[in-house]
Amino acid sequence: MNNKIFAGPQFSRRGVLGAGLGMLALGTDGGRAAAATPVRIECDAGQNELPFQWQASALEAKYGLTPDLVSLPFVGQYEKLVTDLTSRSDAYDVLVFPPYFLGDFQALGFLRELDPYFSLLDPQLADYLPVYRDPVIKRNGKTYALMFDGDLLQVCYRTDLFNDPKEKAAFKQKYGQDLAVPTTWADFMKVAAFFHRPPDLYGTAFYAARGFCYAWFVNIFAGLGGRWFDAKMNPGINSDTGYRALSLLVEMKKYAPPNILQIDYPTLNQVFLDGSTAIVVQWDDLPLKCENPQMSKVVGKSGFAPCPQRSYMPYSRVMAVSAFSKNPEDAYKLAAHMQLPDVGITYVYDPECGEDPYRESYLKASAVKNHLGKPTMSEAAAANYVDAIRGGLKAGYPELSIPGAPRYIDILDLYVNQALAGSLSPKAALDACAGEWANITAAEGQDRIAAAYADWVDSFHKVGLVY
Amino acid sequence: MVPALAIFAANAIFPLLYALDVSVRNYQLLIPVPPQFIGLENYARILSDPLFWSSLKVTLWFIAGVVFLQLPASLGLALLFDSLPRWAGIGVTILLVPTIIAPSVVGFQWAQIYNYQFGPLNYLLGLAGLGHPVWTASPTLALPSLVAIDFWEWTPFMVLLLFAGLRSLPADILEAARVDGSSYPKIFLRIMLPLLRPVIGIALVLRVLMSFKTFDIIYILTAGGPGAATENLAYYTYIQGFRYFNLGYASALAIIQLIVVAILAKALIGLTRKPSFAGAA
Confidence at residue B18, expressed as pLDDT on a 0 to 100 scale: 95
**What is the DSSP secondary-structure string of A16-54?**
HHHHHHHHHHHHHHHHTGGGPEEEEEEEESSGGGHHHHH
In angstroms and rounded to an integer, the radius of gyration of the C-alpha atoms of chain B is 23
Give the dihedral of Cα atoms A198, A199, A201, A202; nearest 10 deg.
Answer: 60
- End-to-end C-alpha distance for chain A, whole angstroms: 93
The domain that contains B155 carries what CATH number? Answer: 1.10.3720.10
The domain that contains A46 carries what CATH number? Answer: 3.40.190.10
Contact (CB<8Å) B139/A104: no
B102 in contact with A at a CB cutoff of 8 Å?
Answer: no
Confidence at residue A466, expressed as pLDDT on a 0 to 100 scale: 79
- Is B73 part of any domain? yes
Residue A69 sits in the same domain as residue A162: no
Out of A86, A258, A421, whose CB is closest to B229?
Answer: A421
Residue A189 sits in the same domain as residue A144: no
B50 in contact with A at a CB cutoff of 8 Å?
Answer: yes
Q: Of B193, A189, B2, give the one whose Cα is nearest residue B10.
A: B2
Beta strand A142-143 pairing with A146-149: unpaired
Out of A209, A263, A421, whose CB is closest to B139?
Answer: A421
Out of B31, B134, B243, whose CB is closest to A78?
Answer: B243
Residue A193 sits in the same domain as residue A294: yes
Q: What is the tally of structural domains in chain A?
A: 2
Q: What is the tally of structural domains in chain B?
A: 1
**What is the residue range of A111's domain?**
36-150+315-362
**Alpha-carbon distance values, A151 to A260, A268, A285, A349 (Å):** 22, 16, 8, 12
Residue A28 has pLDDT above 50, yes or no: no
- End-to-end C-alpha distance for chain B, whole angstroms: 38
A217 to chain B: which residues are within 8 Å by CB?
Answer: none
Q: Convert the pLDDT of each residue in A103-137 to its tens digit.
A: 999 999 999 999 999 999 999 999 999 888 888 99
Residue A62 sits in the same domain as residue A205: no
Residue A181 sits in the same domain as residue A220: yes
Residue A257 sits in the same domain as residue A198: yes
- Is B13 part of any domain? no
The average pLDDT across A210-236 equals: 96
Contact (CB<8Å) B228/A414: yes
The answer to whether A370 touches A159, Cβ cutoff 8 Å, is no
Cis ω before B185 (30° cut-off from 0): no
The answer to whether A421 touches B229, Cβ cutoff 8 Å, is yes
Q: Give ipTM to 2 decimals.
A: 0.88
Residue A77 sits in the same domain as residue A199: no
**Other CB atoms closer than 10 Å to residue A166's CB: what's the count?**
7
B242 to chain A: which residues are within 8 Å by CB?
Answer: 79, 83
Query: Which residues, 6 or more positions from B186, have their beta carbon under 8 angstroms from its beta carbon?
Result: B177
The A residues from 113 to 172 touching B (CB cutoff 8 Å) are none
What angle do helix axes A405-421 and A240-252 make, rounded to 10 degrees? 50
Give the dihedral of Cα atoms B147, B150, B151, B155; nearest 10 deg.
Answer: -150
The B residues from 16 to 35 touching A (CB cutoff 8 Å) are 26, 28-33
Query: Which residues, 6 or more positions from A188, have their beta carbon under 8 angstroms from its beta carbon?
Result: A182, A204, A279, A308
The answer to whether A204 touches A255, Cβ cutoff 8 Å, is yes
- Is B11 part of any domain? no
- Is A382 part of any domain? no
Residue A269 Cα, gap to closest chain B Cα (Å): 14
Residue A284 sits in the same domain as residue A171: yes
Residue A309 sits in the same domain as residue A352: no
Q: Tens digit of pLDDT per residue, chain B (281 long)?
A: 888 888 888 888 999 999 999 999 999 988 878 899 999 999 999 999 999 999 999 999 999 988 889 999 999 999 999 989 888 888 888 989 999 999 999 999 999 999 998 999 999 999 999 999 999 999 999 999 999 999 999 999 999 999 999 999 988 888 888 888 888 888 888 888 999 999 999 999 999 999 999 999 999 999 999 999 999 999 999 999 999 999 999 999 999 999 999 998 888 887 666 665 544 44
**What is the C-alpha separation between A369 and A36, in angstroms, rounded?**
30
Coil, helix or strand at residue A66: strand
* DSSP 8-state code for residue A5: -
Of residues A202 and B9, which shows the higher confidence score? A202
- Is B162 part of any domain? yes
- Is A242 part of any domain? yes
**What is the residue range of B186's domain?**
18-25+35-272
B243 in contact with A at a CB cutoff of 8 Å?
Answer: yes
Beta strand A277-283 pairing with A153-158: antiparallel
Coil, helix or strand at residue A104: helix
Q: Of A74, A75, A147, A123, give the one whose Cα is nearest residue A393.
A: A147
For residue A67, what are the β-bridge partners?
Answer: A39
Q: Convert the pLDDT of each residue in A52-91 to its tens digit.
A: 999 999 999 999 999 999 999 888 899 999 999 999 999 9
Q: Of A119, A44, A29, give the one whose Cα is nearest residue A79.
A: A44
**What is the DSSP secondary-structure string of A262-307?**
G--HHHHHHHHHTT-EEEEEEETTHHHHHT-TTT-S-TTSEEEEEP
- Is B278 part of any domain? no
The average pLDDT across A243-255 equals: 98
Average pLDDT of chain A is: 92
For residue A146, what are the β-bridge partners?
Answer: A319
- Is A18 part of any domain? no
B270 in contact with A at a CB cutoff of 8 Å?
Answer: no
B225 in contact with A at a CB cutoff of 8 Å?
Answer: yes
Residue A140 sits in the same domain as residue A162: no
Residue A204 has pLDDT above 90, yes or no: yes
pLDDT band of residue A32 (cuts 50, 70, 90) is very low
**Other CB atoms closer than 10 Å to residue A265's CB: what's the count?**
18
Contacts 24+ apart (CB under 8 A), A221-226: A221/A245, A221/A246, A222/A309, A222/A310, A222/A311, A222/A312, A222/A397, A223/A185, A223/A307, A223/A308, A223/A309, A223/A310, A224/A185, A224/A309
- Is A347 part of any domain? yes
Confidence at residue A24, expressed as pLDDT on a 0 to 100 scale: 53
**What is the C-alpha separation between B112 and B144, in angstroms, rounded?**
17
Confidence at residue B275, expressed as pLDDT on a 0 to 100 scale: 60
How many C-alpha atoms does B69 have within 13 Å on its Cβ side? Answer: 19
**What is the C-alpha separation between A65 and A38, in angstroms, rounded?**
6
A445 in contact with B at a CB cutoff of 8 Å?
Answer: yes
A432 to chain B: which residues are within 8 Å by CB?
Answer: 50
Residue A278 sits in the same domain as residue A173: yes
Q: Convert the pLDDT of each residue in A357-385 to its tens digit.
A: 999 999 999 999 999 999 999 999 999 99
B71 in contact with A at a CB cutoff of 8 Å?
Answer: no
- Is B5 part of any domain? no
**What is the DSSP secondary-structure string of A162-221?**
HT-HHHHHHHHHHHSS-----SSHHHHHHHHHHT-BTTTBEEEE---STTTHHHHHHHHH
**What is the C-alpha separation between A465 and B144, in angstroms, rounded?**
48
Beta strand A317-321 pairing with A138-139: unpaired
Contact (CB<8Å) A443/B26: yes
A421 in contact with B at a CB cutoff of 8 Å?
Answer: yes
B190 in contact with A at a CB cutoff of 8 Å?
Answer: no
Confidence at residue A8, expressed as pLDDT on a 0 to 100 scale: 42
Contact (CB<8Å) B242/A79: yes
- Is A6 part of any domain? no
Q: Rounded to an integer, what is the distance from CA B6 to the centroid of its chain?
A: 30
The answer to whether A459 touches A134, Cβ cutoff 8 Å, is yes
Residue A301 sits in the same domain as residue A351: no
